[in-house]
Amino acid sequence: MPSRRIRVGMPNRWEHACPLSRESMAPRWPTCLPGCAVKACHPCDPWGGAAWADITKFMANTTKMARVSDENAGSAGSVVKELTSLPHSKIRGLFDQGCITVNGETCEKAGDRVRPGDELCVNYDPEQGYREKKKKWADRTFSIVYEDEQIIVVNKSAGALTVSTDHGERNTLVSRVSHYLKHSGRQREALVVHRLDRGVSGLLVFAKTPAVLAALQEQFKERRPERRYVAIVAGTLAQSAGTFRSYLASGDNLDQFTTRKESHGELAITHYRVQKVLDGATVVDVRLETGRRNQIRVHFADHGNPVLGDPRYGREKAMHERWVPKRLALHAASLGFTHPTTGKPLLFEARLPNSMARFIGK
């Protein structure tokens, strides 16, 4: 390694460091570790010339230490800035690369608080560029379940709009996923294949190219994808399993309603099976054959068993003393389809959100 002397404090006085120790050799001298090639690592006068007589090599890394005072107490990053005068991007890189310790413990975040009396140590090579580690994407509206060059499957959080309404909302799921794709350097936008209601959580697939979008939409049009939901509905169902079949139409306020006139609505088919009967509620496994807007909510409300927490369909019955969350008790738990490029069958599952799992007792 190239030799380096480290200037500290007073003119013409030098600090040196044990190459096997991360501690500074001044103002106090630690015991050298076995195998140290710096012969001067012993308790002698650090300012005397004799201390350098037998040095064969110096450590490439610079070690800088500071005891936090009342004046500079605050974030660890600000103390490192004072010690190194490096730009903030490189300082974050030092933290990411494990170059910072506080009281002997590795400090990984520049924002961590340091208090008066804490001892902060920076061990780094001034000639080396310390880049920040790429941060794992974190977003409150979704988590990534699967991604390749053609598609991305996400687990949507309840409360997020899939797309904007006539009010022009900006922070929608599709905008957040598109932002992630651009952040990842792919320079693509997420293309909407299907949707989930705002109060519903669970699985959605987005396309990355128009060709993939068309192929996936064709599958949904032909009712080929497997879409399974878990719902907690009010009351007790008359049958343990069954199928709801009706025609759904939209009202002036965009609410869906059942109509007997085939020409006035779209065919909606929902299959269900009771999973567990609770006090005043029932857990059902739901499979969609068609995917009309609000389909599950309308079908169960029409039969006197609205989804818990539903403010639109069967609102009064949808209330339960134990259902506190401001969301629907409805989760898209399973999504299966054929990959539009490879032709391989894909099946994804998303576990129940905590609010539903606690209510059910899982």
> Which residues are marked as active site?
197
H or E element that contains 49: none
pLDDT exceeds 70 at position 147: yes
pLDDT exceeds 80 at position 179: yes
Question: In the chain, pLDDT over 70 holds for what percent of residues?
Answer: 80
Q: What is the assigned CATH class of domain 142-360?
A: alpha beta
Stretch 272-300: mean pLDDT: 96
From residue 302, how far is each of 132, 214, 244, 258, 305 by CA, in Å? 55, 34, 10, 8, 7
C-alpha triplet 11, 12, 17: angle, nearest 5° = 110
pLDDT exceeds 50 at position 241: yes
- pLDDT band at 33, cuts 50/70/90? very low
pLDDT (0 to 100) of residue 187: 65
Q: Which of 50-54, 84-88, 160-164 bottoms out in mean pLDDT, i.e. has the lowest?
A: 50-54
d(CA 148, CA 136): 17
Q: Which of 34-48, 56-70, 268-282 bottoms out in mean pLDDT, i.e. has the lowest?
A: 34-48
Q: Which of 13-27, 75-89, 195-209, 285-299 bottoms out in mean pLDDT, i.e. has the lowest?
A: 13-27
pLDDT (0 to 100) of residue 32: 46
The DSSP string of 314-355 is STTTT--TT--SSS-SEEEEEEEEE-TTT--EEEEE-PPPHH
Residues 246, 230: contact at Cβ < 8 Å? no
Domains of the chain by residue range: 6-124, 142-360
H or E element that contains 145: strand 142-147
pLDDT exceeds 90 at position 134: no
- pLDDT band at 130, cuts 50/70/90? confident
- pLDDT band at 334, cuts 50/70/90? very high
Read off the pLDDT of residues 258-280 as tens digits, 9 standing for 90 and up: 887 887 899 999 999 999 999 99
Stretch 35-64: mean pLDDT: 48
pLDDT exceeds 70 at position 146: yes
C-alpha closest to that of 335 among 189, 191, 154: 154
Mean pLDDT of the chain: 83
Stretch 125-140: mean pLDDT: 77
pLDDT (0 to 100) of residue 211: 96
Q: At what angle do helices 76-84 and 88-96 cross, to 10 degrees?
A: 110
Stretch 202-222: mean pLDDT: 96
pLDDT (0 to 100) of residue 133: 73
H or E element that contains 96: helix 88-96
The top-scoring range by mean pLDDT among 95-99, 284-288, 315-319 is 284-288
pLDDT (0 to 100) of residue 198: 94
d(CA 235, CA 296): 16
d(CA 296, CA 285): 11
Residues 61, 48: contact at Cβ < 8 Å? no
Token couple for 270: 């929902």
CATH annotation of 6-124 = 3.10.290.10
Per the model's pLDDT, the better-predicted residue between 33 and 181 turns out to be 181
Most distant pair of Cα atoms in the chain: their distance: 102
- pLDDT band at 186, cuts 50/70/90? low
